[in-house]
Chains A and B, each alone.
Chain A
């Protein structure tokens, strides 16, 4: 291992630790730095193994998994437990230990790379590129299909209560047509009505409903609904 490589590996380990412990770093940057640091350790482990490329891959991945599991059990004994800092420090120490062993075995650690099996031709490279594009497209299509909260239903809920009132929240992931209002009691015999409001996606509407002792129904109704129409949603509170 040359001094330059040693310095680069030390720098990578330090970068991984810094990225993990710097909470303000953007996730993409943080994840890239930490994963690169772990990959660097795995690569170094693979170079320490006196066997072929398949066995090296197996050894490196197995080493990472085993040291993480057994290390996690040890970290659990610390008061801080399995926190970001303890994990980052643990990976730094493991990486440094592997680096020290590799450095001590300067000659042996260099290992042998698998024999080159001919250059990758243009047709093969094009096909691998196509495969990469297909996989990328698969991920984009998959995430696009999983819309989750964008289609969340209209919901009404009690989110706070005080001696003479409750606060209800009306939320939805989709735009609803027309206006709605919160009504205490039924539409025909309402004890209280909120002003009409338009329901916007991901912008919950809050209404404070005044209450007297008793069992009350708080309804979400369409602004244009007739007194006999069923409410869109309904809460029941015992006050």
Chain B
């Protein structure tokens, strides 16, 4: 069977005849709700008893993904029901994250964005200075919407952010489904494409976080959808909407804006080929969004170049280290040395093999399944074929970060390629038999689990639990939240604070202080970090005064373990990379005896030193 691309919106037309209402959608909804409840219970137990509950974690996820996949693949499922189920899938997976941390943002990027949200809420204006990630101030789209909800409803900032993420996730799922439907002309293939998309490593974690890409990505897909829709419309209405949506992407996230313009430009160029169907006003949309991108970058992108060049430099150094056999990256282990369980390695590797094999087979038989005369389909295939770069990027820490971030884009193409190819194979041609559907559902569950493993990083990162040293969400606990809130209530705002990575985020968000960091302050972190990570030194006071350190927040637990994310403060700190022992306990109390330094807060774990009087 060969799929033919249709430029008509025929997905609804392919609906099967109206059937008596089935119990299946309701049963799937119950299973999905049970999965979310499982994660809520897991979060409760993990906090209360410190148990991780690996089985409950995976059962919860598979109770959500499996039944939805099974029903979406059923040939008799209607287009509307498929869309509803995929929407349910996206929102339920988002909720599994929310129920683990129901009252506060705890991940690194979430806290950085919450700090920007605080600035906008306090100042009532955009583009204020931010401490941790200066670049995000120039891309405030997500914070704008959150501020709108927060200030008009009076809901807490966290809940307002969650509402924005829920709307963004709905746009993502429906837009992806409709784009795939328009590309393939078959809503079952489209459903499979979205199921594969939901298996991308960033879907459950990074793209569910309160981070700009979580909002920009859905809007980028909406832009593509609106641009494609323009062919059915007279006048420039949809084109104007597409440009507006593209503009919203540009002001929300830099790389998504760039990727969107690249995709639109590629699509427009291909659509000009004589063998492709023309897409009316695509050039106008592309030019419009590109103009907004250029204008915005020129006006507000001064922080973008340092940010991107730092990421590129890290990736290049990691790659050259690896080539020279000098890489500090241990595959399947976190920087603190905790190994990934064998079964997780197996599932992750199986996922990579399945996708690479599927892509290779799809490439070999491309003429039999690829949509014809569609420039958009060619773009989707080109994007999907970039998949092997994602697992390859995991060879180094820095490149893993870059390639993983791209999975939100690449899987859109990968989903279309594999869905088109797979459902053109004989065993899966409608009407599909139950054993084949069961096998396909099982494989989908496997690659979904593989995506979760690849995207979540170490197991400790997935759920709440006892405190771990420099371990993102696992380092946020009552001790450091209490101290950060105390700072917010008792220290003058805007003070320069030297502290570790997680406490830096918390004093920024809750304490309204400026945590000193290399990106915002261009400091010599190798020298400055000695104040926190080495024992008493003669030049401590000089270094502190030279860097205008007002306060130092010392978390005594830093001396108990190596950092789980590889650094205590940030890249370039003393002793990294290759650290083998934690800092001595004496490092964290050395200002007790420094003349002029005062310990103004002590909760047993966190000690805050006022260094403004250092002599």
Indicate, yes or no, whether A interacts with B: yes
CA of A65 to CA of B247, assembled, Å: 12
Of all chain B residues, the one with the shortest Cβ separation from A51 is B9
CA of A87 to CA of B25, assembled, Å: 39
CA of A35 to CA of B160, assembled, Å: 11
Q: What's the tally of chain B residues with a CB closer than 8 Å to chain A? A: 96
Binds A, one of B43-51, B365-373, B404-412, B449-457: B43-51
Of the candidates B80, B248, B601, the one whose C-beta lies within 8 Å of that of A69 is B248
Measured CB to CB, the residues of B under 8 A from A are: 9, 12, 18-21, 23, 25-27, 29-30, 32-34, 36-37, 39-41, 43-45, 47-48, 78-80, 83, 95, 98-104, 120, 123-127, 140-141, 144-145, 147-148, 151-155, 167-168, 170-171, 174-175, 177-178, 215, 219, 222, 225-226, 241, 244-245, 247-248, 251-252, 464, 478-479, 481-483, 486, 490, 592, 595-605, 608, 613
The answer to the question of A185 belonging to the interface, with a C-beta cut-off of 8 Å to chain B, is no
Residues in chain B near residue A7, CB distance under 8 A: none
- CB of A134 within 8 A of CB of B34, answer yes
- CB of A132 within 8 A of CB of B148, answer no
Of the candidates B32, B145, B481, the one whose C-beta lies within 8 Å of that of A72 is B145
- CB of A76 within 8 A of CB of B125, answer yes
CA of A80 to CA of B439, assembled, Å: 59
Of the candidates A54, A69, A82, A131, the one whose C-beta lies within 8 Å of that of B120 is A82
Among A30, A54, A128, the most chain B Cβ lie within 10 Å of the Cβ of: A54
Q: How far is the CB of A171 from chain B (nearest CB, A)?
A: 8
Per-residue 0/1 for A131-159: is the Cβ within 8 Å of any B Cβ (1 yes, 0 no)?
Answer: 11011011101111111110111111111
Per-residue 0/1 for A60-80: is the Cβ within 8 Å of any B Cβ (1 yes, 0 no)?
Answer: 011011101111110010001
Residues in chain B near residue A131, CB distance under 8 A: 26, 29-30, 32-33
Among A131, A156, A235, the most chain B Cβ lie within 10 Å of the Cβ of: A131
- Interface size for chain A: under 10, 10 to 19, 20 to 34, or 35 or more residues? 35 or more
- CB of A120 within 8 A of CB of B21, answer yes
- CB of B486 within 8 A of CB of A148, answer no
Q: Please classify the interface of chain A as helix (H, G, I), strand (E, B), loop, or mixed, using the class held by over half of its residues.
A: helix
Residues in chain A near residue B155, CB distance under 8 A: 27, 31
Of the candidates A80, A127, A235, the one whose C-beta lies within 8 Å of that of B30 is A127
CA of A153 to CA of B152, assembled, Å: 35
Residues in chain A near residue B95, CB distance under 8 A: 135, 138
CA of A29 to CA of B212, assembled, Å: 29
CA of A64 to CA of B170, assembled, Å: 12
Of all chain B residues, the one with the shortest Cβ separation from A128 is B26
Of the candidates B33, B140, B225, the one whose C-beta lies within 8 Å of that of A138 is B33
Residues in chain B near residue A35, CB distance under 8 A: 153
Binds B, one of A110-118, A176-184, A188-196: A110-118
- CB of B170 within 8 A of CB of A127, answer no
CA of A142 to CA of B568, assembled, Å: 30
Residues in chain B near residue A157, CB distance under 8 A: 486, 490, 600-602, 608
Residues in chain A near residue B12, CB distance under 8 A: 52
- CB of A115 within 8 A of CB of B36, answer no
- CB of B125 within 8 A of CB of A81, answer yes
